[in-house]
Protein backbone atom coordinates (compact mmCIF):
# COMPACT_ATOMS: atom_id res chain seq x y z
CA UNK A 1 0.00 0.00 0.00
CA UNK A 2 1.44 3.32 -1.03
CA UNK A 3 2.04 5.87 1.65
CA UNK A 4 -0.58 8.60 1.56
CA UNK A 5 0.23 12.28 1.74
CA UNK A 6 -1.75 15.28 2.90
CA UNK A 7 -3.89 15.89 5.98
CA UNK A 8 -5.74 12.55 5.66
CA UNK A 9 -2.64 10.36 5.94
CA UNK A 10 -3.28 7.02 7.63
CA UNK A 11 -1.15 4.11 8.84
CA UNK A 12 0.51 2.08 6.07
CA UNK A 13 -0.29 -1.24 7.76
CA UNK A 14 -3.00 -3.10 5.84
CA UNK A 15 -6.36 -2.86 7.53
CA UNK A 16 -5.33 -0.02 9.88
CA UNK A 17 -7.17 3.25 9.34
CA UNK A 18 -5.64 5.21 12.22
CA UNK A 19 -3.87 8.53 11.62
CA UNK A 20 -0.19 8.44 10.73
CA UNK A 21 2.27 9.07 13.56
CA UNK A 22 5.80 8.38 12.28
CA UNK A 23 7.71 6.15 9.85
CA UNK A 24 4.46 5.31 8.07
CA UNK A 25 2.83 3.90 11.21
CA UNK A 26 0.08 5.01 13.54
CA UNK A 27 0.81 5.52 17.23
CA UNK A 28 0.17 1.86 18.15
CA UNK A 29 2.18 0.32 15.31
CA UNK A 30 4.98 2.86 15.80
CA UNK A 31 5.20 1.85 19.49
CA UNK A 32 5.35 -1.83 18.48
CA UNK A 33 8.09 -1.06 16.00
CA UNK A 34 10.15 0.76 18.66
CA UNK A 35 9.75 -2.11 21.13
CA UNK A 36 10.10 -5.15 18.86
CA UNK A 37 11.79 -3.87 15.70
CA UNK A 38 8.74 -4.75 13.64
CA UNK A 39 5.27 -3.16 13.75
CA UNK A 40 3.56 -6.23 15.11
CA UNK A 41 3.12 -8.06 18.37
CA UNK A 42 5.69 -10.69 19.24
CA UNK A 43 4.90 -13.41 21.73
CA UNK A 44 7.29 -13.29 24.66
CA UNK A 45 8.18 -16.39 26.68
CA UNK A 46 7.07 -16.58 30.29
CA UNK A 47 9.07 -18.03 33.19
CA UNK A 48 8.01 -19.48 36.51
CA UNK A 49 11.49 -19.71 38.09
CA UNK A 50 14.83 -17.98 37.59
CA UNK A 51 16.81 -19.44 34.68
CA UNK A 52 20.17 -19.23 36.48
CA UNK A 53 21.71 -22.64 37.25
CA UNK A 54 20.60 -23.95 40.62
CA UNK A 55 18.34 -20.98 41.40
CA UNK A 56 14.73 -21.72 42.32
CA UNK A 57 13.62 -18.17 43.09
CA UNK A 58 10.76 -16.55 41.24
CA UNK A 59 11.59 -14.21 38.34
CA UNK A 60 11.39 -10.44 38.79
CA UNK A 61 8.47 -10.38 36.32
CA UNK A 62 6.47 -12.79 34.18
CA UNK A 63 8.73 -12.33 31.15
CA UNK A 64 12.05 -11.96 32.98
CA UNK A 65 14.57 -14.80 32.92
CA UNK A 66 16.22 -13.83 36.20
CA UNK A 67 15.28 -13.32 39.81
CA UNK A 68 16.04 -9.96 41.42
CA UNK A 69 19.39 -11.16 42.85
CA UNK A 70 20.75 -12.58 39.60
CA UNK A 71 19.40 -9.66 37.57
CA UNK A 72 21.28 -7.15 39.76
CA UNK A 73 24.40 -9.35 39.71
CA UNK A 74 24.29 -9.52 35.92
CA UNK A 75 23.92 -5.75 35.60
CA UNK A 76 26.67 -5.01 38.14
CA UNK A 77 29.27 -7.63 37.20
CA UNK A 78 28.33 -8.62 33.64
CA UNK A 79 28.14 -12.25 34.77
CA UNK A 80 25.94 -14.46 36.92
CA UNK A 81 28.99 -15.70 38.81
CA UNK A 82 29.36 -14.49 42.37
CA UNK A 83 32.00 -11.75 42.53
CA UNK A 84 33.29 -10.93 46.00
CA UNK A 85 33.24 -7.16 46.36
CA UNK A 86 33.75 -6.80 50.08
CA UNK A 87 36.61 -7.99 52.25
CA UNK A 88 34.72 -7.85 55.53
CA UNK A 89 37.27 -9.81 57.59
CA UNK A 90 40.24 -7.55 56.78
CA UNK A 91 41.18 -4.12 58.09
CA UNK A 92 41.70 -1.10 55.85
CA UNK A 93 45.24 -0.94 54.47
CA UNK A 94 45.69 2.59 55.82
CA UNK A 95 47.74 2.08 58.98
CA UNK A 96 45.86 4.42 61.27
CA UNK A 97 42.32 3.78 59.98
CA UNK A 98 41.10 0.61 61.69
CA UNK A 99 37.84 0.36 59.75
CA UNK A 100 36.80 -2.79 57.91
CA UNK A 101 37.98 -3.03 54.31
CA UNK A 102 34.76 -2.89 52.32
CA UNK A 103 36.39 -2.86 48.89
CA UNK A 104 38.41 -5.29 46.76
CA UNK A 105 41.42 -2.95 46.91
CA UNK A 106 41.63 -3.42 50.69
CA UNK A 107 40.41 0.07 51.60
CA UNK A 108 37.39 1.26 53.51
CA UNK A 109 35.03 3.60 51.68
CA UNK A 110 36.09 6.85 53.45
CA UNK A 111 39.80 6.26 52.77
CA UNK A 112 39.09 5.36 49.16
CA UNK A 113 37.03 8.54 48.75
CA UNK A 114 39.88 10.69 50.14
CA UNK A 115 42.42 9.01 47.84
CA UNK A 116 40.22 9.63 44.81
CA UNK A 117 39.58 13.25 45.78
CA UNK A 118 43.02 14.27 47.11
CA UNK A 119 45.46 11.53 46.21
CA UNK A 120 46.06 10.61 49.87
CA UNK A 121 44.00 8.94 52.62
CA UNK A 122 45.16 11.56 55.14
CA UNK A 123 42.84 14.32 56.28
CA UNK A 124 44.49 16.98 54.18
CA UNK A 125 42.89 20.38 54.24
CA UNK A 126 41.04 20.07 57.55
CA UNK A 127 40.57 23.28 59.46
CA UNK A 128 43.64 23.86 61.60
CA UNK A 129 43.18 24.25 65.37
CA UNK A 130 42.29 27.81 66.26
CA UNK A 131 40.49 29.81 68.92
CA UNK A 132 37.12 28.51 67.70
CA UNK A 133 37.96 24.82 68.16
CA UNK A 134 36.01 23.15 70.98
CA UNK A 135 36.64 20.12 73.18
CA UNK A 136 34.43 17.96 70.93
CA UNK A 137 36.00 19.27 67.71
CA UNK A 138 39.55 18.48 68.79
CA UNK A 139 38.68 14.99 70.00
CA UNK A 140 36.94 14.22 66.71
CA UNK A 141 40.04 15.44 64.89
CA UNK A 142 42.26 13.17 67.00
CA UNK A 143 40.09 10.11 66.24
CA UNK A 144 40.13 10.88 62.53
CA UNK A 145 43.89 11.34 62.42
CA UNK A 146 45.01 8.41 64.60
CA UNK A 147 41.99 6.13 64.20
CA UNK A 148 39.89 4.62 67.00
CA UNK A 149 41.60 4.37 70.39
CA UNK A 150 40.63 0.69 70.52
CA UNK A 151 43.41 -0.03 67.99
CA UNK A 152 46.01 0.84 70.63
CA UNK A 153 46.91 -0.47 74.07
CA UNK A 154 46.32 1.71 77.10
CA UNK A 155 49.53 3.65 77.89
CA UNK A 156 49.02 3.07 81.63
CA UNK A 157 47.85 -0.53 82.09
CA UNK A 158 48.52 -2.09 78.67
CA UNK A 159 44.91 -3.21 78.21
CA UNK A 160 42.67 -2.28 75.32
CA UNK A 161 42.13 1.47 75.12
CA UNK A 162 38.70 3.03 74.65
CA UNK A 163 39.36 6.79 74.79
CA UNK A 164 41.81 9.34 73.52
CA UNK A 165 42.99 11.05 76.70
CA UNK A 166 44.55 14.48 77.01
CA UNK A 167 47.98 14.23 78.70
CA UNK A 168 47.71 17.60 80.48
CA UNK A 169 51.17 18.55 79.26
CA UNK A 170 50.37 21.39 76.85
CA UNK A 171 51.38 24.82 78.22
CA UNK A 172 48.68 26.36 76.00
CA UNK A 173 45.88 24.04 77.12
CA UNK A 174 42.27 25.20 77.15
CA UNK A 175 39.17 24.67 79.25
CA UNK A 176 35.93 23.80 77.46
CA UNK A 177 32.60 22.03 77.79
CA UNK A 178 31.81 18.49 76.68
CA UNK A 179 28.90 18.03 74.25
CA UNK A 180 27.54 21.43 75.18
CA UNK A 181 27.21 20.50 78.87
CA UNK A 182 27.98 23.12 81.53
CA UNK A 183 30.89 21.37 83.26
CA UNK A 184 34.34 22.14 81.88
CA UNK A 185 37.29 19.90 80.93
CA UNK A 186 40.89 20.62 80.02
CA UNK A 187 41.98 19.90 76.45
CA UNK A 188 44.70 20.76 73.94
CA UNK A 189 44.46 22.00 70.38
CA UNK A 190 47.48 19.88 69.39
CA UNK A 191 46.97 16.22 68.59
CA UNK A 192 50.40 15.15 69.87
CA UNK A 193 49.21 15.78 73.45
CA UNK A 194 46.74 12.85 73.43
CA UNK A 195 47.29 9.20 74.36
CA UNK A 196 45.07 6.10 74.25
CA UNK A 197 43.72 4.98 77.62
CA UNK A 198 41.10 2.58 78.92
CA UNK A 199 38.10 4.04 80.73
CA UNK A 200 39.39 3.25 84.21
CA UNK A 201 42.87 4.68 83.63
CA UNK A 202 41.42 7.70 81.84
CA UNK A 203 39.23 8.62 84.80
CA UNK A 204 42.05 8.03 87.30
CA UNK A 205 44.48 10.08 85.22
CA UNK A 206 42.11 13.05 84.77
CA UNK A 207 41.10 13.14 88.44
CA UNK A 208 44.73 13.14 89.58
CA UNK A 209 45.68 15.91 87.17
CA UNK A 210 42.67 17.98 88.17
CA UNK A 211 43.68 17.73 91.85
CA UNK A 212 47.28 18.67 91.02
CA UNK A 213 46.11 21.78 89.18
CA UNK A 214 44.02 22.92 92.11
CA UNK A 215 47.07 22.68 94.36
CA UNK A 216 49.29 24.74 92.07
CA UNK A 217 49.53 28.30 93.46
CA UNK A 218 48.29 31.01 91.13
- Kindly tell me if the per-residue pLDDT of 201 is higher than 90: yes
- Convert the pLDDT of each residue in 27-51 to its tens digit: 888 888 887 788 888 777 888 888 8
Number of residues in the chain? 218
Give the gyration radius of the chain's Cα atoms: 34
The Cα 46–Cα 23 span in angstroms is 31
161 exposure class (CB count in 10 Å sphere: 0-12, 13-18, 19+): buried
87 Cβ neighbours under 8 A, 6+ residues apart: 100, 101, 102, 103, 104, 106
Q: Note the pLDDT tens digit of each residue in 137-148.
A: 788 888 877 778
Report the alpha-carbon distance of residue 122 to residue 115 in Å, rounded.
Answer: 8
Q: Please give the backbone phi and psi of residue 164, each rounded to the nearest 5 degrees, phi first.
A: -95, 115
| Span 3-18, average pLDDT | 73
Amino acid sequence: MARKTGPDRICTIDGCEKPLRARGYCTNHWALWRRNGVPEKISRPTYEVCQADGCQKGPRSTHSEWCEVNYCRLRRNGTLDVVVERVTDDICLVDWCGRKAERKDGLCRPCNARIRARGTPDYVGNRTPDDESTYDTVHQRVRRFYGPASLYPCVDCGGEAQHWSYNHDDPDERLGGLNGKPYMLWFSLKMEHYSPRCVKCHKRFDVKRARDKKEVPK
